[in-house]
């Protein structure tokens, strides 16, 4: 882990200076926008995207809606689990923030830039882990929304490097962690969540969480049974047969 900890002159550091160097030449208002977007904006957009996808999934057929909404429930659960995995991983790697190792970086977060009271390690990026887990979870539920969510996750990682808070490899590791947690545990999660969501769909009160208002559950179809005519009564078909 020494290579990650020291952060010597390598491609990782070169990319850090290249991306973060754009902040030095950008207008102050743009730096403020990127800082807000990278800290809160993209994550908020991903949450809204999950809600939007859920709203559309409720209008689908019941079987499809159950699977889609189960995947949407799994997305934030997987994101939270990935953040929990990240806690011991950061302690194990022990990589300091870039501005603690290198001079001349433009740090857009004043709290981290001061270096006071912040001992948090850099690998892997928590924001990028959370964003990619939500994006991949969306992809499991709906490919169109998922591609948009993954694109937002890439933008989140770029913002974190631009802000001078992470190395590019911190972001790449975060993408790998978020993706792995979502996909590797998805079969077990879906096996547990699908029956739960299906039970909610059958509930009168909570059913609207799974199906839109006005979309009733399919009723069992009763096949018409042939009626046996009373004894001594001839039917039209029997007359024809005769």
| Segment 218-230, tens digit of pLDDT | 444 444 444 555 5
DSSP string covering 167-214: -HHHHHHHHHHHHHHHHHHHHHHHHHHHHHHHHHHH-TTGGGGTS-TT
pTM of the model: 0.77
d(CA 44, CA 41): 5
With a pLDDT cut of 90, the percent of the chain lying above it is 32
d(CA 16, CA 10): 10
pLDDT given for residue 228 in this prediction: 52
pLDDT given for residue 135 in this prediction: 95
d(CA 91, CA 13): 21
pLDDT band at residue 18, thresholds of 50, 70 and 90?
confident
Query: Which of 33-37, 105-109, 202-206 tops mean pLDDT?
Result: 33-37
42-89: pLDDT as tens digits: 999 999 999 898 887 777 777 777 888 888 899 999 999 999 999 898
For residue 15, pLDDT over 90 is answered with: no
143-182: pLDDT as tens digits: 999 999 999 999 999 999 998 889 999 999 999 999 999 9
With a pLDDT cut of 70, the percent of the chain lying above it is 76
Name the residue among 144, 129, 153 with its Cα closest to residue 45.
153
Contact 68, 82 (CB under 8 A): no
């Amino acid at each position: 882990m020494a290579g990650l900890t020291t952060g010597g002159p390598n491609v990782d550091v070169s990319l850090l200076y290249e991306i973060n160097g754009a902040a030095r030449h950008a207008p102050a208002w743009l730096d403020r926008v990127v800082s807000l977007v990278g800290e809160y904006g993209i994550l908020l957009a991903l949450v809204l995207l999950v809600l939007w996808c859920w709203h559309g999934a409720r209008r689908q057929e019941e079987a499809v809606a159950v699977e889609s909404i189960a995947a949407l429930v799994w997305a934030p659960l997987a994101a939270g689990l990935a953040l929990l995995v990240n806690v011991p991983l950061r302690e194990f790697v022990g990589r300091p923030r870039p501005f603690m190792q290198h001079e001349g970086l433009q740090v857009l977060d004043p709290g981290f830039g001061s270096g006071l009271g912040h001992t948090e390690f850099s690998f892997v990026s928590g924001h990028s882990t959370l964003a990619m887990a939500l994006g991949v979870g969306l992809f499991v539920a709906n490919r169109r929304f998922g591609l948009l969510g993954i694109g937002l996750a890439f933008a989140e990682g770029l913002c974190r490097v631009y802000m001078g808070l992470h190395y590019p490899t911190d972001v790449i590791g975060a993408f790998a962690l978020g993706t792995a947690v979502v996909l590797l545990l998805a079969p077990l999660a879906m096996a547990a969540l699908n029956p739960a969501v299906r039970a909610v769909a059958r509930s009168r009160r909570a059913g609207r969480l799974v199906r839109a208002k006005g979309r009733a559950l399919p009723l069992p179809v009763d096949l018409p049974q042939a009626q046996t005519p009373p004894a001594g009564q001839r039917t039209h078909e029997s007359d024809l047969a005769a």
